[in-house]
Amino acid sequence: MKRRRTAAGLLTGFFVVMFLCTLISKGIYGAGLPRVAAQAPCRRTIGHEVKAEGTVAPGEELAINVPEGIRVSQVAVQPGDEVGPETLLFVADQEDLGELIREKEVEIEKLRLNIEDMEKNQNLARQKKGLEQQRAAQDAGRESQKENVSVNRSRQDLKKAEEELAAHLADRPEITGQEDRDGQNRDYENRAREEKELQEQIIELTGRIAQLEPEGAGGSDSGGGSVSGNQRPEEAEEAEELRKTRRDLAVLNERLSRLRLDQTEKPDFAGEDGEWKSWEEKRRLLEDGVQEAKRRLEDALRQQEEGSIDGERAKEDAALPDQADSTLQQSRLTLELLEERLEQYRRIYEAGGEVYGELPGIVTEIRIYPGERTADGGAVRYASQNSPFRLKATLTKDQKKYVNPGDQAEVRLNGTKLTLDVTYLAENRTVPDTFDLEIGLPAQTGVLGMSGSLHVAAQSDSYECCVPIEAVHEESGRFYVYALGSRQTILGEELSAEKIPVTVLDKNERYAALETGVITEETEVIVRSDREMKEGAIVRRME
């Protein structure tokens, strides 16, 4: 029983301890959670306030310019000193200035001599040029005349060759035409063939007669003419044939005799052809002569043209002006400058080396030092008292976005509040990503170097989704916010910080305008946290 009671007591104690530990652990857990304040985005405008500190600067700056190279023996003013026309600014070293003047005089004299030499040389060159032009014209005329003679001669040669050719062509020999020659040859061959045929027929008929004549009979005339009554029929037929053959032979002999009477010699054209050939050769020679004469004329004409062009070019070359040379003019200008500088030196020298101010003002910068020579540029700069001052300030790149020339700025100067326009705003050339701003001050306001402040207010368009600037975080140039989400854990549904990338449209020191889309009106954006948060971190609301 006691054991049971002990066990029951221990069990009860165990649960009590567990209950207490539950409270403690939850307390510690809750205390360890980041406490956050969240709010929904709202619609608002983003106002921009640009504040900057500046100093009063001169509105118009003047400079006292002196020739460079003068050795300064004494500087009589300091920055901030008021100067006027009677104020001594500095004193030049007289001895050194005298040396300078002498050096300048020598330099000027040398330059004058140089200029004289150059002028003489220019005249000489001009005369040479005229002579060259004249000679070029003469050469061109002579060459033209020579070429004209050559052309005329070539023309005459051509004319003569053409006349000879024409005369030869007119004396053309007569020759038998080819058709006539063929006809004559054909007639001759026909007669020869006919004679030969007749001769063959005569021989044949003579042989026949010899066969037909009876043996022992005399001539043909003895047995012919009659047929005796006692002759056989065959013999009668033969006698008849013999008579007929003799008649035919007589006819053929007669024809042959006639043919031989009409017979002419074989046609011969050799002489005629030789005469024609010699005429043709002469014609070719004459034509070649004409062609040669033409070519000579063309050559002469081309030479005449080329000679004319060369002559013209020679005249043009001779008429070309000389190379540009401004040495003389430069020397004259240098001489003028030196004389002017010498005049300035002399004026200072004659004033005993003392240099005075010109208009009333306050010295802002001195660029001369005792013992050193003056440099190019103003030796003493001072602010004119006749023009009002300006307030100069420097803006950052972010500030510049909200300020434009012409904007109204609230200026505080020595306790005085003024509303003035921004007169000048430009990028600073020496310091990157900074801008120089200037505001013109009213006349008789401020003192040079006085500090002042300016304040420019600008209002943006209305943005739908604006959150406090503390809610926007940046990492590697990208912006994000933490929104309240919920996560189901063993402890139940807990609030968590969800990282949401955003695009910042505009922002000022208090608010940032975000691009709508990912962030909606219902999104609770964490705007404040008592410790650093991480993506998905469990958080609790700030009471």
List interacting residues with other proteins (CB under 8 A).
3-4, 7-8, 10-11, 14-15, 18, 21-22, 24-26, 28-29, 488-493
Residue nearer to other proteins on the CB measure, 7 or 426:
7
Q: How far is the CB of 488 from other proteins (least distance, A)?
A: 7
Instruction: Yes or no: say if 395 and 434 are a contact pair by the CB < 8 Å rule.
Output: yes
* Both structure tokens of 71: 């050795």
Please state, in angstroms and rounded to a whole number, the distance separating the CA atoms of residues 412 and 419.
Answer: 9
Return the ∠ at Cα 368 (arms to 367 and 371), rounded to 5°: 155
Q: How far is the CB of 484 from other proteins (least distance, A)?
A: 19
Residue nearer to other proteins on the CB measure, 385 or 496:
496
Q: How far is the CB of 13 from other proteins (least distance, A)?
A: 9
Residue nearer to other proteins on the CB measure, 28 or 270:
28
Q: How far is the CB of 32 from other proteins (least distance, A)?
A: 8
**Three-state DSSP class for residue 269:** coil
Please state, in angstroms and rounded to a whole number, the distance separating the CA atoms of residues 86 and 231.
Answer: 195
Q: CA Rg, the chain, in Å?
A: 70
Instruction: Yes or no: say if 14 and 517 are a contact pair by the CB < 8 Å rule.
Output: no
Give the total residue count for the chain: 543
Residue nearer to other proteins on the CB measure, 2 or 266:
2
Return the ∠ at Cα 533 (arms to 527 and 537), rounded to 5°: 110
Q: How far is the CB of 12 from other proteins (least distance, A)?
A: 9
Residue nearer to other proteins on the CB measure, 33 or 209:
33
Please state, in angstroms and rounded to a whole number, the distance separating the CA atoms of residues 230 and 236.
Answer: 10
What strand order describes the sheet that includes 61-65? 61-65, 378-384, 361-366, 82-83
Count CB neighbours of 505 within 10 A: 17
Instruction: Yes or no: say if 352 and 90 are a contact pair by the CB < 8 Å rule.
Output: no
Q: How far is the CB of 455 from other proteins (least distance, A)?
A: 52
DSSP secondary structure of 190-244: HHHHHHHHHHHHHHHHHHHHHHHSPTT---HHHH-S---TT--HHHHHHHHHHHH
Cα 83 to its chain centre, rounded Å, is 58
Cα 425 to its chain centre, rounded Å, is 38
Residue nearer to other proteins on the CB measure, 1 or 261:
1
Instruction: Yes or no: say if 403 and 359 are a contact pair by the CB < 8 Å rule.
Output: no
Q: How far is the CB of 495 from other proteins (least distance, A)?
A: 15
Return the ∠ at Cα 266 (arms to 262 and 271), rounded to 5°: 130
Q: How far is the CB of 6 from other proteins (least distance, A)?
A: 8
Residue nearer to other proteins on the CB measure, 21 or 351:
21
Task: List, in order, residues 6 or more apart from 153 with CB less than 8 Å away.
Answer: 300
Instruction: Yes or no: say if 43 and 539 are a contact pair by the CB < 8 Å rule.
Output: no
Residue nearer to other proteins on the CB measure, 26 or 401:
26
Q: How far is the CB of 22 from other proteins (least distance, A)?
A: 4
Residue nearer to other proteins on the CB measure, 2 or 429:
2
DSSP state of 320: S
Please state, in angstroms and rounded to a whole number, the distance separating the CA atoms of residues 354 and 273.
Answer: 125
Q: How far is the CB of 46 from other proteins (least distance, A)?
A: 43
Residue nearer to other proteins on the CB measure, 3 or 417:
3
Residue nearer to other proteins on the CB measure, 14 or 369:
14
Whose CA is closest to 384, among 352, 413, 353, 358? 358
Residue nearer to other proteins on the CB measure, 28 or 324:
28
* Both structure tokens of 189: 């061959």
DSSP secondary structure of 244-268: HHHHHHHHHHHHHHHHHHH--PPP-
Cα 36 to its chain centre, rounded Å, is 66
Q: How far is the CB of 530 from other proteins (least distance, A)?
A: 19
Q: How far is the CB of 24 from other proteins (least distance, A)?
A: 6
